[in-house]
Chains A and B, each alone.
Chain A
């Protein structure tokens, strides 16, 4: 059933596959981010209550969604790394963690910048904000753990364990606004009912979410390739690729 996957277990095959996806993700990211951002920031109507301040949604919401999405992919990769012990998934865990941390940081920063004028405070310790902060710490923990060991096999395994354990935080972040009283508002688009956001404002947001996703994909694949080369630097295929010689 999974036979078609087997050739990609070879590092050079997954290196090439990742390389083939990078230009597509990059093109999609550039396209969506430019359309979505220009549309959202310049042409979408301003909010009836918040005026133009609401436009931070076009950065905040995609960054927040993808900070969780990136974590989910990292946890799945960690799970595969632990059970099937495939080196590439350990490398993916290490590759995506800093990008996810960046997205989380952007979400926290833009949220604080919006919170000051709208709520009247930069930060409150409500469930949503606190659990998102914990997500940032989880990412930092995974990065630190991966870099703490010289033995990269051990490093990959410990980072995978932490990423898998931290996945429990994801439903907490998502449902925090429903389970508890929070200052943060409820979900506007990620719910089954009709989105509580006008369609003229929603379209650029959705485009930007796709753009952020493609950006995440492109960046993490580039980092994946780099990390794979580093881990495999003594192997003949890397030498052949980088030096152009058969046996160096």
Chain B
């Protein structure tokens, strides 16, 4: 390789590596801000190394799994409330008034946007369903999981253990 090409190679590679490093640092610094939502555990125990807890009254997003058996619907209106859990053991109650997305069901991952009205209670104005990466025909789902959609990593015992 002739010296001029070598020099260009060096310059180009160092620019790319430098930029990559800078971007890496930038993303690392913004780590907590890029997350789309809080998990229930982060909300209850605080987030990041400093354990920052969101304040009551703050607008935020919360994402977790709908605890089976916790969905309570009003008989006379569209009001609904349910509990969200995650693997870390936190639990948050979400209240919502409106039509839930098609994929909303017990055991499903959802993301709710709303206002924190108490330490672990959120008044949501938007509820989004979070789909997971598993795709299968109904027959396979039946035989594999026995019943409705359920994330395999969360066992029955884990779910009930974290509910207490």
Contact A119 B130 (CB under 8 A): yes
- In Å, the complex CA distance between A1 and B102 comes to 59
Q: How far is the CB of A53 from chain B (nearest CB, A)?
A: 9
Question: How many chain A residues touch B (Cβ–Cβ < 8 Å)?
Answer: 41
Contact B34 A180 (CB under 8 A): yes
Contact B133 A118 (CB under 8 A): no
Contact B19 A118 (CB under 8 A): no
Please pick, from A79, A84, A85, A124, the residue contacting B36 in the complex, using a CB distance under 8 A: A124
Which residues of the partner chain B approach A127 to less than 8 Å between Cβ atoms?
34, 36
Please pick, from B12, B111, B141, the residue contacting A183 in the complex, using a CB distance under 8 A: B111
Please pick, from A45, A125, A183, the residue contacting B130 in the complex, using a CB distance under 8 A: A183
Contact A120 B12 (CB under 8 A): no
Interface centre among B63, B134, B138 (most CB of A within 10 A): B134
Contact A83 B12 (CB under 8 A): yes
Contact A120 B127 (CB under 8 A): yes
Please pick, from A79, A85, A118, A164, the residue contacting B131 in the complex, using a CB distance under 8 A: A118
Contact A120 B16 (CB under 8 A): no
Contact A117 B133 (CB under 8 A): no
With contacts A119-B128, A119-B130, A188-B135 taken as known, whether A49 is within 8 angstroms of B36 at the C-beta atoms is no
Which residues of the partner chain A approach B134 to less than 8 Å between Cβ atoms?
188, 196-197
A interface SS class: loop
Q: Select from chain A the residue with minimum beta-carbon distance to B6.
A: A83
Contact B135 A57 (CB under 8 A): yes
Q: Select from chain B the residue with minimum beta-carbon distance to A160.
A: B12
- B71 at interface, CB cutoff 8 A: no
Contact A82 B8 (CB under 8 A): yes
Please pick, from A79, A82, A119, A186, the residue contacting B129 in the complex, using a CB distance under 8 A: A119
- A226 at interface, CB cutoff 8 A: no
Contact B133 A186 (CB under 8 A): yes
With contacts A82-B12, A180-B35 taken as known, whether A120 is within 8 angstroms of B140 at the C-beta atoms is no
Q: Could you give, for residues 107-134 of chain A, a 1 whenever the CB lies within 8 Å of some chain B CB and a 0 otherwise?
A: 0000000000111110011110000000
Q: Which residues of A come within 8 Å of B, CB atoms?
A: 45-50, 54, 57, 79, 82-85, 117-121, 124-127, 164-165, 167-168, 172, 179-183, 185-188, 196-198, 200-201
- Further 7 A-B residue pairs, CB within 8 A, beyond A46-B137, A49-B149: A50-B131, A54-B135, A118-B129, A124-B36, A125-B36, A181-B39, A183-B63
Lowest 9 A-B CB distances belong to which pairs? A45-B137, A48-B141, A120-B101, A48-B138, A126-B36, A198-B136, A197-B135, A181-B35, A188-B133
